[in-house]
Amino acid sequence: MKFPTKQWAAKAKELIPELKRWWMDPVAIVEPVADPKAWQGVRMRNIAKPQESYKRGDILYLDFGEHAVGHISLDISIVGHEYDSPAYFRILAAELPFEFEFKPEKWNHWLSMAWMQEEYVKFDKIPKGVELPRRYAFRYLAIEVLVAPGPVVFNSVRLHAESSGGHHLPEPPKGLDALEKQIFTIGVRTLRNCMQTVLEDGPKRDRRLWLGDLRLEAMANAVTFRQPQVIERSLYLLASAAGRDGICPSDVFEEPDGTQGAQVFEYPFFFTKCLLEHITWYPRRRQIAEDLYDFAAYQFEVVRKYIDKNHLLTPSKDKWVVIDQNRTLDKTVAVHCVYLFGLESLVELSKRLHRPGLEKLETELSLMRKAAYDAWFDPSTGFFAAKPGAELSVASQVWAVLGKVVTGAEAKALMKRTLATKTLVQPAAPYLQHYVLESCALCGETSGLRKLIRSYWGAMVKVGADTFFEVFRPEDPFYSPYQQTWVNSACHAWSCTPVVYLV
In angstroms, give the least distance from the CB of 289 to ligand RAM. Answer: 23
In angstroms, give the least distance from the CB of 202 to ligand RAM. Answer: 6
Q: Could you say whether residue 206 binds ligand RAM (CB under 6 A)?
A: yes
In angstroms, give the least distance from the CB of 263 to ligand RAM. Answer: 10
Tell me whether residue 47 or residue 262 sits nearer to ligand RAM (CB atom).
262
In angstroms, give the least distance from the CB of 118 to ligand RAM. Answer: 20
Read off the amino acid at residue 172: P
The residue within the footprint of ligand RAM, chosen from 64, 154, 210, 298 (CB under 6 A), is 210
Identify each DSSP E strand in 312-454 by its residue range: 377-378, 383-384
The number of beta carbons lying within 10 Å of the beta carbon of residue 426 is 18
Please give the size of the binding site for ligand RAM, defined by CB under 6 A: 9
Residues 396 and 378: their CA atoms lie apart, in Å, by 12
Tell me whether residue 445 or residue 470 sits nearer to ligand RAM (CB atom).
470
Tell me whether residue 393 or residue 418 sits nearer to ligand RAM (CB atom).
393
Tell me whether residue 95 or residue 206 sits nearer to ligand RAM (CB atom).
206
Q: Can you spell out the DSSP letters for 222-286?
A: HTTT--HHHHHHHHHHHHHT--TT-PPPSEEESTTTSEE---BTTGGGHHHHHHHHHHHHSTT--
Q: Could you say whether residue 264 binds ligand RAM (CB under 6 A)?
A: yes
The residue within the footprint of ligand RAM, chosen from 97, 187, 203, 212 (CB under 6 A), is 212
Q: C-alpha dihedral over 187, 188, 193, 199, to 10 degrees?
A: 90
Taking a C-beta distance cutoff of 8 angstroms, is the pair 356, 367 a contact? no
Tell me whether residue 333 or residue 491 sits nearer to ligand RAM (CB atom).
491
Tell me whether residue 116 or residue 148 sits nearer to ligand RAM (CB atom).
116
Burial class of 275 by CB neighbour count within 10 A (0 to 12, 13 to 18, 19+): buried
Residues 229 and 202: their CA atoms lie apart, in Å, by 19
Tell me whether residue 236 or residue 494 sits nearer to ligand RAM (CB atom).
494
In angstroms, give the least distance from the CB of 135 to ligand RAM. Answer: 18
Residues 25 and 160: their CA atoms lie apart, in Å, by 9
Taking a C-beta distance cutoff of 8 angstroms, is the pair 30, 43 a contact? no
- Among 54-62, 133-141, 209-217, 273-281, which window interacts with ligand RAM (CB under 6 A)? 209-217
> Which residue's Cβ has the minimum distance to ligand RAM?
201
Q: Could you say whether residue 201 binds ligand RAM (CB under 6 A)?
A: yes
Cα–Cα distance list, 191 to 68, 107, 320, 466, 489 (Å)? 11, 29, 26, 12, 13
Taking a C-beta distance cutoff of 8 angstroms, is the pair 433, 427 a contact? yes
Q: Could you say whether residue 213 binds ligand RAM (CB under 6 A)?
A: yes
Q: Could you say whether residue 322 binds ligand RAM (CB under 6 A)?
A: yes
Read off the amino acid at residue 10: A
CA-based max dimension of the chain: 82
Tell me, residue by residue from 441 to 480, as one string, x for binding to ligand RAM by CB under 6 A and - for no binding: -----------------------------x----------
Residues 203 and 19: their CA atoms lie apart, in Å, by 14
**Ranges within 331-390 binding ligand RAM (CB under 6 A):** none
- Among 207-215, 238-246, 330-338, 399-407, which window interacts with ligand RAM (CB under 6 A)? 207-215
Q: Which stretches of the chain bind ligand RAM, using CB under 6 A?
A: 201, 206, 210, 212-213, 264, 322, 470, 494
